[in-house]
Amino acid sequence: MSYIQQKFNKKSQRTEFLIPLLNILSDSFSVFLAFITAYWIRFYFAPFVNLIPFEGVIPPISGYIKLALIVIPVWLLIFQSRKMFRPKRIVFIFDEFFLIGRLATFGIIFSFGLIFFYRVFPYSRVVFVMVWLLSIIFITIGRYLILKYEKTLYNRGRGLKDTIIAGNNQTALDIFNKFSKHKYAGFNITGYVDDNAGNDFLPKNLRLGSYGDLVNVIQKNNIETVLVAIPSSEHDKLFDLMKAAEGENVEFLMVPDFLEVITSSVRVQEVDGIPLLKIKSIPMNIWNRIMKRIFDFIFALSVMLLTSPLFILLSALVKFTSKGPVFYKQERLSMTGRKFQMIKFRSMVTDAEKETGAVYVKKGDSRYTPIGEILRKYSLDELPQFINVLKGDMSIVGPRPEREHFINLFKNKIPKYLERHRIKCGITGWAQVNGLRGSDSSIEKRIEYDIYYIEHWSIIFDLKIIIKTIKEMFFSKAAY
């Protein structure tokens, strides 16, 4: 079946058309609304006019409407240049917000350029500053609502892309479980192809054939996406698969295995004409550490002040519902193995590990105090750790601190386990907001996420994790 003759999956194609159209309409309306609102605030909103008085005759709104109609197509072209009108499927609105801010800046610069050459109409620069701010807010709100609508469609089974997996290994099983459970990713996994029929990772009843059957499987099942989960040692098979699928209107998405994840941060640098591959670097330079420490201190102090009534209430509840101290202190190891006393609200009976020794907390643990399970479920027991942050023992975001017993247990069993101690430990982390917490989660997976965070750290990344943490506190079912 040729590229032209191939029939497309209509349920997915409608979504591919609808979502970009909604984004275009929403962005256009948002920019137009930003111009109208900014005009009204500048010239008619009394508190603002009193703050920044305007002298002279108020210009007619028609001039701003005409300008808005001229610049909107240009703004859309700027957004299209960054592929902002594609269905997002999986995206975090916080990432979208900063990209919208950058693109809106280019858009407002263009608008300033227009009024520089067109001086017949008395445009207010204050209005343009407000247009810039309001457009970012309005566009973000519009895109957030569309994103929620898009995810609702996927969760209802509408607009999903019929997808197969190429491979049958642990990576293939991980993505199968993930995307089968979370339909909002936009994939409808119908089966897999693999040369090793004896592998027992994926269900045998979902095997659609071998790699050699790929084209027939694509055509027969009207497949739109192939998720490639082939190990890095067998990447020659990837080229064979893509060669076989030439002419088929199907996209290939490669899922990196662990080796590729940990080497994804390789950088090339040149010293006196000699190329060098930097395969391991210092996570943060001194200025980044200073910036992170300042952010941690200000954020922790703000949280402690805002939650002080809750802090007092929880202290009283812990004290009066069970015998023992309000706080539970435990020795943990942080950056470079430095020991410190981590503080938590006590959620278990005193001497909970006297008979068992060091063990992880389990769901329905009998050692909980009357309010202990609630404290754990909503992570309220972690609140005193902001004291650790103020003292400099911990950071807001980072790999979770671990006990020396477990470090000694895992450091020789799990590759790169000690890499997580290259930065200060945190109250929350990239692994935790991705559902990897508690004794039921894979330690190996947690390490992968911790290393990814270390290699890709930024203040923006920290803010993203903090926002996701707040969301997880109220909606996650994984905490216990």
Computed over every residue of the chain, the mean pLDDT equals 83
Task: Name the more confident of 156 and 285.
Answer: 156
What is d(CA 142, CA 135) in angstroms, rounded to the nearest whole number? Answer: 10
The answer to whether the beta carbons of residues 137 and 197 sit under 8 Å apart is no
The pLDDT of residue 115 is 72
CA atoms within 13 A on the CB side of 83: 3
Query: For the segment 11-28, what is each residue's pLDDT rounded down to a tens digit?
Result: 577 788 888 899 999 999
Q: pLDDT category, 331, cuts 50, 70, 90?
A: very high
Per DSSP, the three-state class of 396 is strand
Query: For the segment 234-264, what is each residue's pLDDT rounded down to a tens digit?
Result: 777 888 888 888 878 888 888 776 445 544 5
DSSP class per residue in 261-294? HHTTT-EEEEETTEEEEE-S--SS-HHHHHHHHH
Q: pLDDT category, 357, cuts 50, 70, 90?
A: low
Q: pLDDT category, 316, cuts 50, 70, 90?
A: very high
How close are the terminal C-alpha atoms of the chain, in Å? 53
pLDDT exceeds cutoff 70 at 123 = yes
Percentage of the chain modeled with pLDDT above 70? 84
The pLDDT of residue 243 is 83
- At 146, list the tokens: 């569309």
Strand partners, 252: 226
The answer to whether the beta carbons of residues 153 and 170 sit under 8 Å apart is no
Number of Cβ within a 10 Å radius of residue 254: 14
The answer to whether the beta carbons of residues 334 and 280 sit under 8 Å apart is no
Amino acid at 93: I
- At 441, list the tokens: 């989660």
The pLDDT of residue 363 is 62
Task: Name the more confident of 331 and 248.
Answer: 331
pLDDT exceeds cutoff 70 at 70 = yes
Per DSSP, the three-state class of 128 is helix
Q: Among 354, 340, 333, which residue's Cα sits nearest to residue 408?
A: 333
Query: For the segment 184-219, what is each residue's pLDDT rounded down to a tens digit?
Result: 778 899 999 998 777 778 998 999 999 999 999 999
Give the pLDDT mean for 155-181.
Answer: 88
Strand partners, 275: 270
Q: Is the pTM of this model over 0.85?
A: no
The pLDDT of residue 271 is 47
Amino acid at 44: Y
The pLDDT of residue 293 is 94
Query: For the segment 30-53, what is each residue's pLDDT rounded down to a tens digit?
Result: 999 999 999 999 999 989 988 888
Strand partners, 343: 329
Task: Name the more confident of 218 and 359.
Answer: 218
- On the 0-12 / 13-18 / 19+ scale of CB atoms within 10 A, 382 is buried
- Phi first, then psi: give them for residue 327, nearest 5 degrees: -100, 150
The pLDDT of residue 9 is 45
Give the pLDDT mean for 321-345.
Answer: 89
Question: Where is 343: in which H helix or E strand?
Answer: strand 339-345
Domains of the chain: 10-155 (no CATH), 161-255 (3.40.50.720), 286-475 (no CATH)
Amino acid at 312: I
